[in-house]
Structure 1
Amino acid sequence: MSIPIKDIGKQEINKQDMHVDDSLTDFTSRQITFNDVSKRVYVTGSGPAVIVMTEMPGISPHVARFARWVRDAGFTVYMPSLFGRDGVVATAEEGAVVFQKACVSAEFRAFAGKGASPVTLWLRALAKVAHAECGGPGVGAIGMCFTGNFALSMMLEPAVLAPVVAQPSLPMDDPADTGLEAADLQVVRQRLESEDLTVMAYRFEGDAFCRAQRFAAFSEALGERFVSRVLPDSAANQDTAPFFKRYVTTPHSVVTAHLIDEAGQPTLAARDEILAFFRGRLVQADVN
């Protein structure tokens, strides 16, 4: 049974310490292979599927906390391990190494002019399997930071109905580039219009890694069905992990590292809007 969105998180008598490693023991670890590429996927919950893609430098306690919020809202979470060590609070040095490896990996295309990252093919296959396993009208997907625009690439899989784009940072070298091929964006736009879908997108106003030009490019490509939310920098949590303190010096991670878990905070309102978006598309549609 799902928890009302306004009560998500209230069941935690002692809130989790975001500065210590997360054991992830309440997730089931599965090894899933598509086209000879195998990845660990952490699964928890019941109900329609939502793919939660981690931000840099990996599945941190903040990312796992968000995944639990999605689970508690009534969904089966599939959280693939894409880079970094799972559950750890990475040091600044370790996080930098993870970032550098991802930038040169064949799975990711961190720079402009190269199109969508090849790993999105694997993620689309995961969405298809998750839909088959969980049922419902379709699948939700949220990408964050390095994976931010992956949720849009995943819409090339028909099962993906509820994409959320959180502070998309790729490509790193062109703030006005979407990181998707023009043809793919056209397919996404056609789906949005023909199936009456929307994309939810979030960023902080002063984010140096996801600037206003990128949201403007998405808006131009996708029209009014790209629904953007820009939060004030003053809404960002300043108590962040070592990697963020050294390398992410502007507000960036809306629903994870820079979220303030207190009533009335804009970041918590963004979280609730995302959960309501998933419910509206994946749960209500199932009963109508």
Structure 2
Amino acid sequence: MATRSMNADDPLDDFAARELALDGVTRKVHVAGRGPAVVVMAEMPGISPHVARFARWVRDAGFTVYMPSLFGRDGAVPGAEEGAAVFRRACVSAEFNALAGGRSSPVTNWLRALARHAHRECGGPGVGAIGMCFTGNFALTMMLEPSVLAPVLAQPSLPLEEPAGLEIADDEITAVRERLDRDNLTVLAYRFKGDRICRAERFAAYAAALGDRFIARELPDSAANTDVAPFFARYVSYPHSVVTQHLVDAAGQPTIAARDEILAFFARRLAVPTNRPDPIARD
């Protein structure tokens, strides 16, 4: 993968920008790669150069990436004021259940339709999905779609006002747990230990609801990158974004190990040949 600056807007010129009409709603989706599909959902405030870099890593590992535009300006470096405006709009949008727990964001209905569409286009056993921060829990709700086999929750941050809350309805998380048991699947989740948004209470709540099907990874704060975009410097001044802003792109780093584990997880569940070990295999 060619090296691109994380400090300049990314033109996303190696992705095909497609307008996909699903369930009566049309959204832009950036698509690249070949192989089984993986839906990559951006963190707040949108598809930044760091998010695009992670999507390229997924693409280069042998997958077709579907990266929907859910908020913000695609490819933009997260500026402080622009990012704050995007965050405020999302918090009051009817598409997102940002503040209180106990129900899923309505946008997850469209994301499940995207997974079905991607599976039809790409084939294979099924679809992977990763949500980050504001979208972190969406990959779990997407498990209600049978094609989704490999869900990853990166620092799931909703609901914002309930540290131990889950952004999913009780009947839905029960259905997800039943499916995980029935199909012998797992949920992989990441956070930094000192994260003030995705706190330990949330991972404890996931563990209580999903049992040993919930595989939690907590990284030390010392593993976080400190050279971050203005939005993060002002509003997220603590370790948070495991595979994007706070990832240290150097061999031997815990965040790189997390990235590689995620890629191996996708490869195992979606049957992509790989020489990476899968340390979380259950069967």
TM-score (norm 2): 0.95
SS at 1:152's partner residue?
A: helix
Q: What are structure 2's unaligned runs of at least 5 residues?
A: 274-283
Aligned position for 2:68: 80
Cα 1:207–1:179 change in 2 (3 A) is same
Distance in 1 (CA, whole Å) between partners of 2:202 and 2:168 is: 12
Which of the residues 87, 105, 111 maps onto 1:99? 87
Residue 17 of structure 1: how far off its partner (Å) = 1.2
Matched, 1:135 2:132: no
Which residue of structure 2 lines up, in the alignment, with residue 266 of structure 1? Answer: 254
Distance 1:134 1:190 in 2: 27
Corresponding position of 1:206? 194
1:108 partner letter: F
User: Which amino acid is the alignment partner of residue 180 of structure 1?
Assistant: I
Q: Write the mapping of 1:153-172 to structure 2, written as runs, cut at 5 A.
A: 153-172=141-160
Q: Is the 8 A contact 2:37 2:126 kept in 1?
A: yes
Alpha-carbon separation, structure 2, partners of 1:128 and 1:162: 14
Shift of 1:262: 0.0
* Distance (Å, rounded) in 2 between the aligned partners of 1:149 and 1:91: 24
Secondary structure at the aligned position of 1:39 is classed as strand
Counterpart check, 1:238 vs 2:226: yes
Q: Which amino acid aligns with 1:124?
A: R
* In 1, Cα distance between equivalents of 2:102 and 2:178: 23
Which residue of the partner structure matches residue 278 of structure 2? Answer: none
Question: What residue in structure 1 maps to residue 55 of structure 2?
Answer: 67
Q: CA deviation at 1:283?
A: 1.4
1:197 counterpart = 2:185 = yes
The aligned counterpart of 1:148 is 136
Aligned to 2:9: 21
Shift of residue 36, structure 1, vs aligned partner: 2.3
2: CA distance, partners of 1:25 / 1:215: 37
For the residue of structure 2 that corresponds to 1:103, the secondary structure is helix
Secondary structure of 1:219's aligned partner = helix
Q: Structure 1 residue 255: deviation in Å?
A: 0.2
Deviations 1:135-169 (A, max 9, x none): 00000000000000000000000000000000000
Q: Distance in 2 between matches of 1:153 and 1:68?
A: 24
Equivalent residue letter for 1:251: P
Take 2:199 and 2:75, find their aligned partners in 1: how far apart are those partners? 28
Task: Measure, in 1, the Cα distance between the counterparts of 2:226 and 2:241.
Answer: 11
Q: SS at the partner of 1:50?
A: strand
Alignment of 1:214-229 (within 5 A): 214-229=202-217
Percent identical: 68
**CA 1:284 to 1:19, structure 2 compared with 1: closer, same or farther past 3 Å?**
closer
> Displacement, 1:37?
1.2
Which residue does the alignment assign to 2:35?
47
Q: Which amino acid aligns with 2:10?
A: D
TM-aligned CA deviation for residue 77 of structure 1: 0.2
| Separation (CA, whole Å) in 2 of partners of 1:141 and 1:204 | 20
Which range is displaced more, 51-60 or 29-38?
29-38
Match of 2:78 in 1: 90
Shift of 1:35: 2.6
Aligned match for 1:186, one of 163, 169, 174:
174
* Alignment partners' CA distance in 1, 2:192 and 2:180: 25
- Secondary structure (helix, strand or coil) at the match of 2:26 reads strand
Match of 1:57 in 2: 45
Q: Would you say how many aligned residue pairs link Structure 1 and Structure 2?
A: 273
SS in 1 for 2:178: helix
Q: Indicate conservation of the 8 Å contact 2:166/2:202, yes or no.
A: yes
SS in 2 for 1:40: strand
Q: Distance in 2 between matches of 1:164 and 1:148?
A: 8
Counterpart CA distance in 2 for 1:241 and 1:161 is 33
